[in-house]
Amino acid sequence: MTQEVRAAGAVLWRHAGRAVEVALVHRPRYDDWSLPKGKLDPGETTAEAAVREIREETGFRAVLGRYVARSSYDVPAKHGSGTVPKTVDYFSAEAVSGGFEENDEVDELRWLAPTAAEKLLTRHEDVRVLRVFCQLPVGLTTLLLVRHAKAGKRDGWSGDDDLRPLSEAGLRQAAGLRRVLALSAPDRVLSAPRLRCVQTVKGIAEDIGSEVRHEPLFSEEGYWPDPVLGVARLLAIAGDGGTPVVASQGGVIPDLVSVLADRDGVELSAARGGVVPSKKGSFWVLSFRPPTAEDGPILVAADYHPSALPTPAPSHH
């Protein structure tokens, strides 16, 4: 069986006054100009690989935003003749600190306006990815909507179901979420007041020196008596800006996401047969335009990640 080569990268951007610049790197090995990218290390997710490759190739620390696009093409096989498929998953990433120094892979970095970057890029696929990135503005609010990780089976738990804790598998999922969601620099953590929901995101709160704030409207029994209130609460959280993490349940998340997507005209390509996915330990990256004097926050992208452990790439809008 042919082994697919997996890689990840990003459109790395920064503000330049009122304008936006993106970073292109020159790789002397190929004598090309490209977006920062590289192969996944064993045990890495695409998000982790993207941030690591940005740091190694450009010297910048980056904060991940939305998923942008997947690029697929064939590359020469390492062993024997012929080719093997390669996929590169690209994210939007804001440069927040650091600076470029020539390294083993990259001898020059240029910050350019997107139109100038298009002309310098060597490969048409990179131009396509950049154009997808440019379809939405930068500076969006990222809300990370998490379904709690796996808990012990309900029929094997004799206590209050609200107090059913994570299983060993669930603790592994929570550890993965703690690593991957940190790449988006969350600044507050909210959760349905179920132990398994709180446990799933407690490590994230600890890492930012915060507490998990209980949000009863995101539990199944709190949401369904009046879903309009639950949607309004999520929009209020998004409207406060920053990068919130919200933990909820499988009986709530699909409705929340589909209502917002229908309201704001976002296609959910992750949905199959009208079903919005929400596996245990999965998360949605919801990207909102910040509120204006006329409107509240508007959903512009919704990217589903089925796991925070090494898995196939996310489906995206």
The predicted-structure confidence for 214-271, as pLDDT tens digits, reads as follows 999 999 999 999 999 999 999 999 999 999 999 999 999 999 999 999 999 999 989 9
The secondary structure of residue 276, as a DSSP letter, is: P
Rounded mean pLDDT of 14-26? 97
pLDDT at res. 306:
96
Rg (CA), the chain: 20
Matching fold, domains 5-134 and 141-305: no
The whole-angstrom distance between residue 24's C-alpha and the CA centroid of its chain comes to: 22
Q: Could you report the per-residue pLDDT of 5-16, keeping only the tens digit for each?
A: 999 999 999 999
> Measuring CA to CA, which residue among 156, 184, 195 is closest to residue 244?
184
pLDDT at res. 115:
98
pTM beyond 0.75, yes or no:
yes
Sequence ranges of the domains in the chain: 5-134, 141-305
User: What percentage of the chain exceeds 70 in pLDDT?
Assistant: 94
Q: What is the chain's length?
A: 317
Q: Which residues contact 79 (CB under 8 A, 6 or more apart)?
A: none
pLDDT at res. 225:
98
Q: Are 270 and 312 in contact (CB under 8 A)?
A: no
Residue type, 36: P
Spatial separation of the C-alpha atoms in residues 302 and 141, rounded to whole Å = 12
Residue 155 has pLDDT above 80, yes or no: no
Q: Which CATH class is domain 5-134?
A: alpha beta
Q: What share of the chain is helix, strand, coil (3-state, %, to 5)?
A: 30, 35, 35
Q: Could you report the per-residue pLDDT of 72-111, keeping only the tens digit for each?
A: 998 888 877 789 999 999 999 999 999 999 999 999 999 9
CATH number of this structure's domain 141-305: 3.40.50.1240
Burial of 284 (0-12, 13-18, 19+ CB in 10 A): buried
